[in-house]
C-alpha cells in the first residue's frame, strides 16, 4: 500500500468506527421488536479490516484459530469451519456416503424430523441417503420419539436430530434407541449453540454436530457454519470435501497416497465441493466467541422472564424443557392453545401491527410446502404434531441486545391483546 492509500484507509477506518455505534439505529424501521439486531461492533470490524489490510482474506490462520477455539468451547472435538450451516449439514451427510471412505451405502435410511430447516433434509437426500421423515412433538418442538421408533426398519442406519430453537432433544432415550438398533447419531445444532444435555454440549453426542453463524444466530460470522466431530480422521475427510476433494490442510496419514508423483498442492483424493469460509468470517467468529457467554446470559435471562409471563396465560404455551436439558434459546417460540378464543393468525397480525416481528416455527410442516411435491418421501406418512405447530406456532426474536425496557414493552403488548378475552 502506498502513502496515499494509507491516508485514505485511515480516514475510512475513522468514519467506520465512528458509525459502528449506530449499527442498530438504522435497521429496525417497521419493527421496534425485530427478529434480530446486529451483535457485532468495532472489534469485529477491526478484525475484518485486519484481514483485508494483510491481504489474507481467504481461508488462513484465523480460520484455524477459530476452529481451535470453537472446539475448546465445545469441550473437545475437531471443528471444521464452512461457509454456512447448510454447508455444514451437506458435508456431514456426504461424510456418510463419500466415495473415498463411505460409511453407508446409497439407499441406506436416515431418520430426520419433518419440522426443521429444509437444507438439513435436502443434504441427506443429495448425499444419496433415503430419508424417512419423523413427526415432531408440539410440546417440545423436537422429534417425536414414538414416531421415531415406529419408523425404524432393517435399512435404518442413522438418526439426524435437530435441537430446534435451542431446546435439546431427549438424549438419554435417543442414545438408548440408537444403541439398541445400532444407529449413528448426527446432530443439527444450528439453532442450539451452547445448549446442554446433562452438562454436555449438544453436538458432542454422535458422529458429528453442525452449527450456523448466520446474522441472527447465537454468534454471527455474517454467513458461516461449523461441523464438529470427535474423530480426527472424519474431520480430515470433511476438510477434503470442504475444498475440492484435494489433499491439503489435513494429516496425510489418514489417506492412501497415490503411487505416482503428483504435485502435492494439486492432489485430489476424493470428490468435494468448495464450501470454504473466509478469514474475514473467521475473524468475526473469534471476536463473537469471546462475547458468547454474555450473549447467552442475556438471552437466557430474557427468555426466562418472557416464558414466566407466558406461563400465566391459559391460551399460550411455550416449549417444555426436560429436567436434564439446559436450552440455549435461539428465539421465543410459542403455540396458541386449542382452547384459545383467538387464532394464531389473529395474534401474529396484532403483533405485526404493533411493531413486533414474527415468523412461523421454521418451515412449519415441510410436507405442506411446494418443494415437497417433488419428493415421495413427504407423502409416506402424516405428521399431526408438525401440522399443529404449522397451524398454531410462531416465534419472536431473542436478541442479546434487547433491553429490560424492551421486554417489559413486549409483555405489555401481549397483555393488551390477552385482556380482550
Ligand X SMILES: Cc1ncc(COP(=O)(O)O)c(C=O)c1O
Catalytically annotated residues: 217
Q: Which residue is nearest to ligand X (CB)?
A: 85
Give the residues across from 81 on adjacent strands.
226
- Cell 466415495, located at residue: 99
CA distance 261 to 67: 32
Q: Do the strands 316-317 and 225-229 form a parallel or antiparallel pair, or are they unpaired?
A: unpaired
Residue among 111 and 190 whose Cβ is closer to ligand X: 190
- Least separation in angstroms between residue 174's CB and ligand X is 16
- Least separation in angstroms between residue 166's CB and ligand X is 10
Residue among 192 and 243 whose Cβ is closer to ligand X: 192
Compute, in degrees rounded to 10, the torsion defined by CA atoms 159, 165, 170, 175. 30
Name the residues that contact ligand X, by CB under 6 A.
84-86, 89, 116-117, 119-120, 162, 188, 190-191, 212, 214, 225
**What SS3 state is found at 107?**
coil
Under DSSP, the state recorded for 165 is: G
- Least separation in angstroms between residue 338's CB and ligand X is 26
Residue among 44 and 89 whose Cβ is closer to ligand X: 89
Residue among 90 and 243 whose Cβ is closer to ligand X: 90
Compute, in degrees rounded to 10, the torsion defined by CA atoms 408, 410, 411, 415. 130
- Least separation in angstroms between residue 210's CB and ligand X is 7
- Cell 484507509, located at residue: 9
- Least separation in angstroms between residue 169's CB and ligand X is 12
Check residue 220 and give left, alpha or beta (phi > 0: left; psi -120 to 50: alpha).
beta
Work out the angle at residue 44's Cα, subtended by the Cα atoms of residues 39 and 45, and round it to the nearest 5 degrees: 110
- Cell 444407529, located at residue: 183
**Do the beta carbons of residue 310 and residue 318 sit within 8 Å?**
yes
**Do the beta carbons of residue 136 and residue 96 sit within 8 Å?**
no
- Least separation in angstroms between residue 84's CB and ligand X is 4
- Least separation in angstroms between residue 313's CB and ligand X is 27
Length of the chain: 421
Residue among 117 and 246 whose Cβ is closer to ligand X: 117
CA distance 154 to 327: 33
The CA–CA distances, whole Å, from 180 to 103, 173, 175, 187, 335 equal 19, 11, 8, 18, 34
Residue among 124 and 269 whose Cβ is closer to ligand X: 124
Note the Cα 162 to chain centre separation in Å. 9
CA distance 150 to 183: 14
Residue among 112 and 336 whose Cβ is closer to ligand X: 112
- What cell numbers appear for 167 in the block? 431446546
Under DSSP, the state recorded for 227 is: E
Residue among 112 and 152 whose Cβ is closer to ligand X: 112
Tally DSSP H helices, then E strands, for the chain.
12, 14
**Do the beta carbons of residue 405 and residue 302 sit within 8 Å?**
no
- Least separation in angstroms between residue 14's CB and ligand X is 33
- What cell numbers appear for 271 in the block? 470428490
Residue 303 backbone dihedrals phi, psi, to 5 degrees: -65, -40
Amino acid at each position: 500500500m502506498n502513502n496515499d492509500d494509507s491516508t485514505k484507509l485511515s480516514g475510512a477506518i475513522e468514519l467506520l468506527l465512528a458509525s459502528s455505534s449506530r449499527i442498530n439505529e438504522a435497521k429496525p424501521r417497521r419493527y421496534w421488536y425485530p427478529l434480530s439486531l446486529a451483535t457485532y461492533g468495532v472489534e469485529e470490524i477491526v478484525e475484518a479490516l485486519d484481514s483485508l489490510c494483510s491481504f489474507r482474506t481467504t481461508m488462513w490462520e484465523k480460520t484455524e484459530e477459530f476452529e481451535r477455539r470453537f472446539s475448546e468451547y465445545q469441550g473437545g472435538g475437531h471443528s471444521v469451519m464452512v461457509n454456512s450451516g447448510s454447508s455444514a449439514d451437506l458435508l456431514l451427510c456426504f461424510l456418510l456416503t463419500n466415495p473415498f471412505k463411505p460409511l453407508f451405502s446409497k439407499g441406506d435410511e436416515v431418520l430426520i424430523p419433518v419440522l426443521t430447516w429444509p437444507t438439513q433434509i435436502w443434504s441427506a437426500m443429495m448425499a444419496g441417503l433415503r430419508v424417512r421423515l419423523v413427526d415432531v412433538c408440539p410440546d417440545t418442538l423436537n422429534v417425536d420419539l414414538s414416531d421415531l421408533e415406529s419408523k425404524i426398519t432393517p435399512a435404518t442406519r442413522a438418526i439426524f436430530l435437530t435441537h430446534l430453537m435451542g431446546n435439546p432433544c431427549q438424549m438419554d432415550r435417543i442414545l438408548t434407541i440408537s444403541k439398541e438398533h445400532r444407529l449413528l447419531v448426527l446432530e443439527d445444532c444450528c439453532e442450539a449453540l451452547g445448549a446442554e444435555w446433562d452438562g454436555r454440549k449438544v453436538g458432542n453426542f454422535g458422529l458429528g454436530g453442525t452449527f450456523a453463524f448466520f446474522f441472527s444466530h447465537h454468534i454471527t460470522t455474517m454467513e458461516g457454519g461449523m461441523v464438529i466431530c470427535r474423530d480426527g480422521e472424519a474431520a480430515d475427510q470433511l476438510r477434503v470435501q470442504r475444498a475440492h476433494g484435494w489433499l491439503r490442510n489435513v494429516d496425510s496419514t489418514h489417506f492412501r497416497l497415490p503411487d505416482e508423483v503428483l504435485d502435492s498442492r494439486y492432489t485430489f483424493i476424493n470428490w468435494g465441493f468448495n464450501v470454504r469460509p473466509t478469514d474475514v468470517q473467521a475473524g468475526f467468529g473469534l471476536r463473537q466467541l469471546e462475547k458468547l457467554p454474555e450473549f447467552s446470559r442475556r438471552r437466557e435471562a430474557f427468555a426466562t422472564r418472557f416464558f414466566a409471563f407466558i406461563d400465566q396465560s391459559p391460551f399460550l404455551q411455550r416449549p417444555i424443557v426436560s429436567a436434564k436439558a439446559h436450552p440455549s434459546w435461539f428465539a421465543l417460540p410459542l403455540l396458541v392453545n386449542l382452547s384459545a378464543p383467538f387464532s394464531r393468525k389473529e395474534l401474529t397480525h396484532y403483533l405485526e401491527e404493533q411493531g413486533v416481528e414474527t415468523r412461523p416455527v421454521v418451515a412449519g410442516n415441510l410436507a405442506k410446502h411446494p418443494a415437497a411435491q417433488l419428493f415421495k418421501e413427504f407423502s409416506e406418512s402424516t405428521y399431526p404434531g408438525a401440522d399443529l405447530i404449522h397451524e398454531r406456532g410462531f416465534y419472536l426474536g431473542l436478541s442479546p441486545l434487547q433491553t429490560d425496557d424492551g421486554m417489559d414493552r413486549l409483555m405489555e403488548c401481549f397483555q393488551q391483546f390477552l385482556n380482550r378475552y
